[in-house]
Amino acid sequence: MSGNNNNSSNVKENSAQKRKNRKAKKRVCAFCADKIDYIDYKEVGKLRKYITERGKILPRRITGNCAIHQRQLTVAIKRARQIALLPYTVE
């Protein structure tokens, strides 16, 4: 019985170590790469990439945007929502 518990804890430790050893891929801001200065709220196709299917804005750690462009993106999405280009929520 005690051998089974020890074995299962080793498996958990090994999987935890693998997660720690994994190097995260450095994400590059798509707007900086394309040298975009202003994010237009009317470009709904681009904005849809940065919201979830439930309508929430994706965070920087997922999208890889820089802080400046993430703020501009948030403002653009909120403006597009106000004039009904993007939904607030999905029904």
Q: What is the C-alpha separation between 74 and 43, in angstroms, rounded?
A: 13
Percent of the chain past pLDDT 70, that is, above it, reads: 78
Instruction: Tell me which of 78 and 9 has the higher pLDDT.
Output: 78
- Residue type for position 57: I
In tens, the pLDDT along 61-84 reads 999 999 999 999 999 999 999 999
Residue 16 has pLDDT above 80, yes or no: no
What number is the average pLDDT over the span 12-22? 70
Could you count the other beta carbons within 10 Å of the beta carbon of residue 77?
Answer: 23
Residue 1 above 80 pLDDT? no
Q: Sketch out the chain's domains with CATH numbers.
A: 25-91 (4.10.640.10)
Residues ≥6 apart with Cβ < 8 Å to 27: 63, 64
